[in-house]
Amino acid sequence: MRTYNVGIVGATGAVGQEILKVLAERKFPLKGLRLCATARSAGKEIVFEGEKFTVEETKATSFDGIDIALFAGGTASTEFADPARKSGAVVIDNSSAFRLHPEVPLVVPEVNPDDVRWHKGIIANPNCSTIIMVVPLKPIYDAVGIKRVVVSTYQAVSGAGAAGIEELCAQARAILDGAEYAPAVFAYQIAFNLIPHIDVFLEEDYTKEEWKMVKETRKIFHDEDLRITATTVRVPVFRSHSESINVETEKSISPAEVRKLLSGFPGIEVVDDPAAKRYPMPVEATDRDEILVGRIRQDNTLENGINMFVASDQIRKGAATNAVQIAELITEYGLV
């Protein structure tokens, strides 16, 4: 079996750490490993598979001899993805920098794996909320077609990084103690509250996060006519995003048929037993790769409508695991 030299940019962050965990769990065929981060994190030691690695400052020369460069997200992608590609590495990027670039594949392995075949050195990982939505949509799309999707997300504070988690913890403690804790990470108090605002507002008063779900989904499905509207909401949950998805299909399909389709689809676990109070929840999705799908029921206001609720760990399947799966694909297809 061929082995590969892998570099991780942003190795000390939450996604970088999760990438290391997933590489070990999935037994990725590593030959060598190089861990990079900002100058502030350079010199730190990380133990991987019993071996100590020293984190290096990311530089244009960091990719010499690297076969696959996994970028954990952030501004480093705009500065270093192209030097990595020119060094001969295939870049798998978790940032939003290249997702809508027409010459960069945007890939979810369960949905559009063959798109990796036309990469030109960079492959983009979609937004976490997009990934969580498109996997359960894919079998429905293939079976009966989709006319329209209405999605509302319930996104954990860890989507805003470690600072988001710290703010929720400290704010909740302060409020319970009768004190005040002014918001810094979020626009408003997040403890015991919901904020229907993630990222900046753009055209038509939709946020950037909402437009990501629209535009990225169309690119992944190669369907510019697919109608999608999104409302993205930050909720006081530590980890794992949830989504309420309403689907209007081209042809009729029953909830039972949807359950059957999803039950046999890779990356999905159907959790749908109302009588036993079994449905997807973020606490059950955390630290897992499966996207949990439940509350599958007919939308009785449409001729062909289905409602469902999903939950998934946005740090794993929404970022790290999806990136490693892309790395597995390009090795399987001989594209490295």
Which active-site residues does the annotation give? 128, 241
SS3 227: strand
Q: How far is CA 119 from CA 19, 111, 213, 326, 329, in A?
A: 21, 16, 22, 11, 12
**62-83 b/e (C-beta count within 10 Å ≥ 16 → b):** bbeebbbbbbbbbebbeebbeb
Q: How far is CA 245 from CA 152, 207, 242, in A?
A: 7, 18, 10
- CA 86-92-97 angle, to 5 degrees, is 85
Pairing of strands 45-48, 30-37: unpaired
Residue 272 near residue 278, CB atoms below 8 Å: yes
Residue 241 near residue 318, CB atoms below 8 Å: yes
- Residue 232 CA, distance from chain mean position: 14
Closest Cα to residue 153, out of 280, 247, 243? 243
List the structure tokens of 71.
């970028």
**Other CB atoms closer than 10 Å to residue 4's CB: what's the count?**
19
